[in-house]
């Protein structure tokens, strides 16, 4: 009970730094460092896919490939922890108190930009007319395996976890899980408010059971497969409840202990290279998120304007970099060197993401808020009507 009282008390007071950030952002209660972390993670996913598309020979090539895979995996797990953290704060700050408006905002936030990325990928496919490139990896040639049709586009837009329906934008697997867990997230909030320890243990057990079923039965379509990552959302949510306490506690520790925490992240990532990443990468992701908001030097570094810009365009970058990577590689692979191709992929992805953020993401966010307000006001009007 003492821990629950602590969680409740930390919800009500903003620390000095958080209050300053709130006032600078016009009343928003976003945590700048975590926005920037999302941007850094999106860049690392882009880098991982540039590595994974290449055929690298020998022992050193295997290590580089596995490091690329690991970099992308940890980044996606960081996204899941961040989502739990950010969604919980919308409940803590009172921005969300009804399910329908909450669900509308989440669906409109995720799906329209995703749908645009699928349509862009299909358009680029038609313009490029890709063929197999034997010099590149199996992973690269798995993408864009069949031309777009009305049926294939519709199947992608349904956001299922069927692998063959993700070939136009392979990163969508994580968005499928993000959407599903977001829609049941209020149940997790309720459980955490009742008892965060039971909620966390319960979410971990559910995730473990889901993982066992996923591995044993290998279902082509498994609507419960997203629950493998439920415990990461729960961990992020619990950190959000104890946000200010964790900052105060961590910065009271000796410098040696704080440095040891960062060393633990590095150690977990190195150990993950020995192919036990399913146990170590989630721990690394949790520590990374914790340190990026709790460690004051990390918070200051991530508050730099360029990193804030990366955070702003992070979702668009995550969505667009695969279609751009595929299109530019199919067009230019035999015409320019790999460093030049890499620079073109990164530069084009950043520019396109900036445009998409302003043209698609921001209007989508505004639309979600408008529809949520209308849903809320509609419920208020109905509740005020006299009953027959």
**What is the pLDDT averaged over residues 184-203?**
95
Residue 244's contacts (CB-CB under 8 Å, 6 or more residues apart) are 10, 13, 14, 15, 18
pLDDT at 224: 80
Domain ranges of the chain: 2-378
Tens of pLDDT, residue by residue over 50-87, are 999 998 877 777 888 888 889 999 999 999 999 999 99
Higher pLDDT, 61 or 92: 92
pLDDT at 235: 97
Q: What token pair was written down for 8?
A: 């409740």
pLDDT band at 219 (very low <50, low <70, confident <90, very high): low
Q: For the residues of 174-239, what is the DSSP string, one character each?
A: HHHHHHHHHHHHHHHHHHHHH-HHHHHHHHHHHHHHHHHHHHHH--SS-TTGGGGGHHHHHHHHHH
**What is the pLDDT averaged over residues 302-308?**
95
Q: At what angle do helices 58-92 and 172-194 cross, to 10 degrees?
A: 40
Minimum mean pLDDT among 100-114, 153-167, 309-323: which range?
153-167
Tens of pLDDT, residue by residue over 352-362, are 999 999 999 99
Burial of 137 by CB count in 10 Å (0-12 exposed, 13-18 middle, 19+ buried)?
A: middle
Tens of pLDDT, residue by residue over 250-302, are 999 999 999 999 999 999 988 877 667 678 899 999 999 999 999 999 999 99
pLDDT band at 211 (very low <50, low <70, confident <90, very high): confident
- SS3 (DSSP) at 326: helix
Other residues' Cβ atoms within 10 Å of the Cβ of residue 299: 21
Q: What is the dihedral of CA 232, 234, 236, 238, to 10 degrees?
A: -150
Cα 128 to Cα 141: distance, rounded to the nearest angstrom: 14
pTM of the model: 0.88
Minimum mean pLDDT among 129-143, 197-211, 265-279: which range?
265-279
Say yes or no to pLDDT of 317 above 60. Answer: yes
Minimum mean pLDDT among 77-81, 230-234, 243-247: which range?
243-247
Say yes or no to pLDDT of 378 above 90. Answer: no
Cα 137 to Cα 376: distance, rounded to the nearest angstrom: 50
pLDDT band at 381 (very low <50, low <70, confident <90, very high): very low
Q: Which of 324, 386, 387 is nearest to 355 (CA)?
A: 324
Minimum mean pLDDT among 20-34, 76-90, 306-320: which range?
20-34
């Amino acid at each position: 009970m003492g821990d629950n009282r602590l969680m409740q008390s930390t919800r009500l007071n903003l620390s000095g730094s958080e209050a300053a950030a709130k006032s600078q952002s016009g009343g928003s209660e976003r945590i700048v460092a975590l926005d920037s972390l999302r941007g850094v993670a999106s860049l690392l996913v882009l880098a991982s896919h540039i590595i994974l598309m290449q055929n690298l020979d020998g022992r050193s090539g295997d290590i580089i490939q596995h490091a690329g895979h690991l970099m992308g995996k940890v980044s996606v797990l960081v996204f899941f922890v961040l989502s739990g953290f950010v969604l919980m704060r919308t409940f803590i700050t009172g921005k969300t108190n009804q399910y329908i408006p909450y669900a509308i905002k989440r669906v409109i936030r995720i799906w329209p930009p995703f749908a645009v990325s699928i349509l862009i990928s299909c358009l680029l496919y038609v313009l490029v007319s890709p063929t197999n490139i034997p010099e590149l990896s199996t992973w690269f040639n798995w993408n864009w395996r069949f031309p777009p049709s009305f049926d294939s586009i519709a199947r992608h837009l349904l956001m299922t976890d069927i692998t063959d329906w993700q070939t136009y934008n392979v990163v969508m697997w994580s968005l499928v899980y993000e959407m599903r867990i977001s829609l049941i997230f209020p149940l997790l909030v309720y459980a955490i408010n009742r008892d965060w320890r039971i909620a966390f243990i319960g979410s971990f057990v559910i995730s473990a059971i889901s993982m066992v079923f996923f591995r044993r039965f290998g279902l082509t379509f498994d609507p419960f497969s997203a629950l493998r990552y439920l415990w990461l959302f729960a961990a992020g949510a619990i950190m959000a409840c104890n946000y200010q306490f964790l900052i105060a506690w961590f910065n009271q520790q000796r410098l040696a202990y704080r440095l040891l925490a960062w060393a633990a992240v590095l150690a977990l990532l190195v150990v993950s290279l020995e192919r036990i990443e399913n146990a170590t990468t989630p721990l690394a992701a949790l520590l990374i998120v914790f340190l990026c908001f709790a460690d004051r030097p990390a918070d200051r570094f991530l508050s730099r304007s360029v990193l804030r810009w990366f955070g702003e365009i992070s979702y668009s970058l995550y969505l667009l970099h695969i279609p751009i990577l595929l299109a530019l590689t199919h067009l230019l692979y035999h015409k320019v060197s790999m460093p030049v191709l890499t620079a073109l992929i990164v530069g084009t992805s950043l520019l396109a993401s900036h445009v998409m953020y302003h043209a698609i993401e921001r209007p989508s966010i505004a639309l979600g808020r408008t529809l949520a307000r209308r849903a809320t006001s509609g419920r208020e009007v109905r509740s005020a009507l006299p009953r027959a």
